[in-house]
Chain A
């Protein structure tokens, strides 16, 4: 085991009494509770943790948190492994297993590293220019490209963890709990506003946690932060969400937050919630997302050990780890001096500060001098050396315009390089919100300008670097946000702040490289995707000058860090090349999420049984007990058929179909869509949505109707009944229930708002048992004594209310089988009881339950259509031979005009016909295509297809329905169904098989 050689004796805030062991690439290391994988590896001197995407260059830790571009690690094993995790975002625990990725055979010796030597051959977009010969070989090249690409590996099985969703509303959402965010929370919460404050770190405080040279109200920043957090924790209307990344900013101030609720990879025997996806609707958003430090652009700026300066400060002050014993600082601003001073305070030997500025003049500069840190002003690091870790840096004097190098080369040995190239506000969420950004010359970066939603930006997100100003902005924003969301507020006192004053930054981009070298050295812009300075130049040379073209051609900013450290540098370089203002180059649009977000969290609990939950009827328990086979119909699970022991599906269906025509069949028809329609204009409404006449339907009667879309095509069908004046009960197809209701509502609300009609879905309210067959009246008579069921008193298409088996019921005498049939509707809770009673009493009539398959056969025997089977959105009532249902006298109905169009009245349209295979044992496959003439091989001209096909026991042979071009003119003709292995000949007939074939 390695000792923690780079652990500092005193600094940091972790639990040194809790040592933990973890494994990285098979080797066991030690860290402390509170460490991240990155800080623990650094404590053990491990910088080399990954390989880059394209060149497989050795890479180390670059930054902390979501900005990390290099240190992507595979964490965990098997089902619970996760690829591409940033080492600085993994809290370690005892037994953690992690490994490096995208390397073979090992991290130190990676064969893919050969790409680095081929660099000259494979610049940006090289793949667009080659791999084209021979023509068919792309798939072979691609095979190897695919295996070389990708980063980590997917898990091997089902996710053992669980994800939840939270829904919340609040007055103020504060994103980021750094100084500005905390100040805003403090101010807003005092007004009584409902506040949520979220931060992606486990500890609130943001930059306050890494600074030791600032004081707020004479307290250290950490102590001030603790006080504020304690205050906020005591307020009932404040929700504090650490470990929570605000990932998406959608319309109407709707934001998503991903909360991590258990340490990332902690193994547990019970299933735990790992993430909660918060969906929050906010009155006023405050973005206090801070700033992201920018790398400097110089040759070989990617070696392990080269890190962002502020990250190093964070490792020292928060984790008590120094990334090196002999660090070199390379900067264009004052902030990096704080890193140097922090290191020196921790007795680390700072090799030197290399500052591109010619006359830095600030307190920090003087302090560095006083502490006798060598400072090379006007110098720049021009290249570095070292393989698995930086060993030395070469520095040279910059010319006054920063474009060339002068003087001697000096080589400085070091084991770590802290770089600071300025700061970029984290404007991602602001941009997602639709806000506009503008270029700021002083900061050389984009800052928020115009908001389009209720959002305020404060502190670093606004480009404000100093603490005092950030706190002030935070307090003001907190107050105004609370006011905007309707709460009363008084501004709290502004705290006093002591902090180092910083002077100007000098932007030298890129740092010039030395010429006349044998090998051109790579200057990296995007570390993860290996986009170099020359790639940017090449893209521009080739005309990819739009910032979006640049991004897509070079892939800059398209890695898992989404360009957090590369985008601004890239577009500054592009603007230099194009000789225009960065403002004109513009910025690519930011997309959600801010940082990669676990897919399982979006799925939440809506998987397994809760994924599109199955609907079942009140009678379902009986079907299950009876051993029914089920089929999915829309959202419903319906009994398909009821096989007896040793019965095949065909045998069961034949038995059910026969029973329904000879004795009694009983069907659970509860799934049919049911819409209750009321209002003085209900009849007029029906008259417009159905093709036939509805104005004169008397109470107590039903009528069958077809609904068309505007284009004249059949959309749905069903029976609608007049319960009483201005009150109707509509039925729809099972699958069409929801869409028909939406359709009707759309017409009512947008086209006919003057009609007084009210629609209510009652599908779930009624359970329906349909009894069918010659003896069904006798059966019903036994259970229903308060209705005269005689044909005269209760004719076909009649409707009565009464009592069945002691239950108040609605009875419809309608039929989908052609047999005498009653559909008995009772309140859902009585459904099972009714069903059982009917079966019980029906025993002596040999009642037989039948499923959806028998129902299909029964209706096909009579030539009745099923919408969605005989129709597919391209079929008119005329095509179906149902001209009789189209009113010739009504002034209008939906689809009327369409039915008179040129191509709709053509004679060669596909028409519904019956089809009987010449060989009476052939069952035509449903969906098979029909031709006039079978050719030896395709293509063949098709004239139609088989819509339904069954064996009909009542006809004693297979029957089929088909849509065939000019079908009704082809009665008696032979057509062919060319299957893969054989062709079947069939004759076109009428669709009413029962009356034409069997009799």
Chain B
């Protein structure tokens, strides 16, 4: 008890001037912002840690943060081959929602959404989680039926969702074309009002800063080259900066999970493919809600800066190069113009790609592995950003206890042996 209090005390005193608030901002304005301390240290890599987390993206940093905060782990390093937040954390379209159909998915994503709702305060870093609603459109009779199934499942799981008529959609999204003559007319949709977007970089930075304050060493530019494994158990990690001894290793390397698993001597049921996104030039607000359309493969929101943020479908071939094919962009933008005719004269400012690791059932892996004390958190496919806090939270629990909790358990690697898949591809969309 005493120890705990002392620890809390030392934490606040070391990082006193680092507390972010309007007050501290004003105070620092007087000193011309010369007294801000570093958001995170750049520590030297130590030769030994209790726990090494590979991958300083949102998920990895969250994992380290919760390990330090909730499990009292002290000697933790997060290592990354590049700069923190440089993978899919900084490349996604920032959509957050928990309106999944299967119970297992609802479990993890709702857990995550609840953490999002208090995250800025938790981290003392404004992640700009904006609950502007996520509206999913249905364009065919078949999709309407699928929507009923999904909405009913979401409702009975106690998660918010609301079915909307085309007219109600038009009220929320005045720029959408609901003409029934469209090739894919808007026949209805459903909205999760608690869903929305967040500032992706801020999530990585917020977790990095908070983890750093709890003593976690974040080591950037520290690429993993191999593992030390003795008698089937992990003993350390080989990196370009030297070998690190570790009792436990958690691996969260979206886009490269298969590659790193191979270094540890096993294979993952994962496909790695490029997924593209793009932004328009900033314009005054025209879109307050996140819009998703599965049948035309596009999703769009407008950022606080005013840029339209659009996402497309994944390329159909495997690749590790962080760029995709032009035809995907062309198809998605045609769909966007169909639904939102005013987009036509706006201009694309930047497009980019990230690599998504996707499992055969389009659900993630949060799991122990064939190597003892080596854990993997991967396979989030096209939608990992929304899971960041929840994923880190349950993964920390798994690493600390060597057993998955009830939220993580369904996502074990073992499901590909047993066949208990959590198929989130959505229904196949075919008929006689």
Q: Interface segment, B20-28, B364-372, B382-390?
A: B20-28
From A161, A716, A926, residue with most partner B Cβ within 10 Å: A926
Q: Which residues of A contact B220 (CB under 8 A)?
A: 546
B194 to chain A, nearest CB (A): 12
Alpha-carbon separation in the docked complex, A128 to B350 (Å): 23
Whether A632 touches B140, Cβ cut-off 8 Å, given contacts A607-B337, A711-B419, is yes
B282 to chain A, nearest CB (A): 5
Contact present for A611 and B306 (CB under 8 Å):
no
Alpha-carbon separation in the docked complex, A553 to B125 (Å): 13
Contact with A along B337-368 (1 / 0, CB 8 A): 11001111111111110000000110000000
Interface membership of A697, Cβ < 8 A: no
**Interface members, chain A 700-740 (any B CB < 8 Å):** 710-713, 715-716, 733-736
B336 (CB) vs chain A CBs: closest residue: A599
Contact present for A945 and B152 (CB under 8 Å):
yes
Contact present for B325 and A147 (CB under 8 Å):
no
From B36, B329, B347, residue with most partner A Cβ within 10 Å: B347
A592 (CB) vs chain B CBs: closest residue: B351
Interface membership of A939, Cβ < 8 A: yes
Contact present for A980 and B344 (CB under 8 Å):
no
Partner of B423, one of A53, A154, A872: A872
A870 to chain B, nearest CB (A): 11
Interface membership of A806, Cβ < 8 A: no
Q: Interface segment, B38-46, B47-55, B58-66, B164-172?
A: B38-46
Interface membership of B1, Cβ < 8 A: no
Whether A614 touches B336, Cβ cut-off 8 Å, given contacts A130-B22, A591-B350, A938-B156, is no
Q: Which residues of B contact A593 (CB under 8 A)?
A: 348-351
Interface membership of B323, Cβ < 8 A: yes
A944 to chain B, nearest CB (A): 11
Q: State the interface size on chain A (CB cutoff 8 A).
A: 123
Contact present for A151 and B183 (CB under 8 Å):
no
Contact present for B83 and A604 (CB under 8 Å):
no
Q: Interface segment, A18-26, A78-86, A788-796, A829-837?
A: A78-86
Contact present for B38 and A541 (CB under 8 Å):
yes
Contact present for A154 and B286 (CB under 8 Å):
yes
Alpha-carbon separation in the docked complex, A132 to B123 (Å): 11
Alpha-carbon separation in the docked complex, A604 to B331 (Å): 10
Q: Which residues of B contact A735 (CB under 8 A)?
A: 428-431
Q: Which residues of A contact B352 (CB under 8 A)?
A: 591
Contact with B along A521-547 (1 / 0, CB 8 A): 000000000000010001001111110
Interface membership of B228, Cβ < 8 A: no
Contact present for A903 and B418 (CB under 8 Å):
yes
Partner of A599, one of B25, B304, B348: B348
Interface membership of A221, Cβ < 8 A: no
Contact present for B428 and A871 (CB under 8 Å):
yes
Alpha-carbon separation in the docked complex, A978 to B41 (Å): 54
Instruction: Known pairs A154-B175, A945-B152; list 12 more (Cβ under 8 Å).
Output: A82-B346, A123-B33, A135-B118, A138-B120, A543-B42, A548-B86, A602-B334, A607-B337, A852-B432, A867-B430, A898-B419, A927-B150
Q: Interface segment, B5-13, B128-136, B246-254, B373-381?
A: B128-136
The 16 sampled A-B contact pairs (Cβ below 8 Å) are A128-B206, A130-B25, A133-B21, A154-B283, A599-B337, A607-B337, A632-B142, A632-B184, A634-B431, A711-B361, A734-B432, A735-B429, A852-B432, A903-B418, A928-B148, A945-B153
Alpha-carbon separation in the docked complex, A599 to B321 (Å): 24
Interface membership of B73, Cβ < 8 A: no
Contact present for B33 and A128 (CB under 8 Å):
no
Partner of A154, one of B342, B415, B432: B342
A747 to chain B, nearest CB (A): 16
Alpha-carbon separation in the docked complex, A873 to B321 (Å): 30
Alpha-carbon separation in the docked complex, A142 to B304 (Å): 7
Whether A520 touches B427, Cβ cut-off 8 Å, given contacts A135-B121, A596-B347, is no
A600 (CB) vs chain B CBs: closest residue: B344
Contact present for B83 and A548 (CB under 8 Å):
yes
Interface membership of A155, Cβ < 8 A: yes
Alpha-carbon separation in the docked complex, A428 to B155 (Å): 49
Q: Which residues of A contact B304 (CB under 8 A)?
A: 142, 145-146, 149
Per CB-CB distance, the 8 closest pairs between chain A and chain B, nearest first, are: A150-B306, A735-B430, A927-B149, A927-B148, A600-B344, A159-B344, A901-B419, A868-B430
Contact present for B360 and A711 (CB under 8 Å):
yes
Alpha-carbon separation in the docked complex, A991 to B414 (Å): 34
B322 (CB) vs chain A CBs: closest residue: A589
Q: Which residues of B contact A1 (CB under 8 A)?
A: none
Interface membership of A279, Cβ < 8 A: yes
Interface membership of A966, Cβ < 8 A: no
Q: Which residues of A contact B345 (CB under 8 A)?
A: 80-82, 154-155, 159, 161, 598-600
Contact present for B146 and A927 (CB under 8 Å):
yes
Alpha-carbon separation in the docked complex, A643 to B183 (Å): 23
Whether A929 touches B128, Cβ cut-off 8 Å, given contacts A154-B342, A248-B326, is no
Contact present for B427 and A873 (CB under 8 Å):
yes
Q: Which residues of B contact A603 (CB under 8 A)?
A: 330, 333-334, 336-337, 344
Contact present for B323 and A250 (CB under 8 Å):
yes
Interface membership of B261, Cβ < 8 A: no
Contact present for B20 and A128 (CB under 8 Å):
yes
**Interface members, chain A 623-646 (any B CB < 8 Å):** 631-634
Contact present for A938 and B158 (CB under 8 Å):
yes
Contact present for B431 and A132 (CB under 8 Å):
no
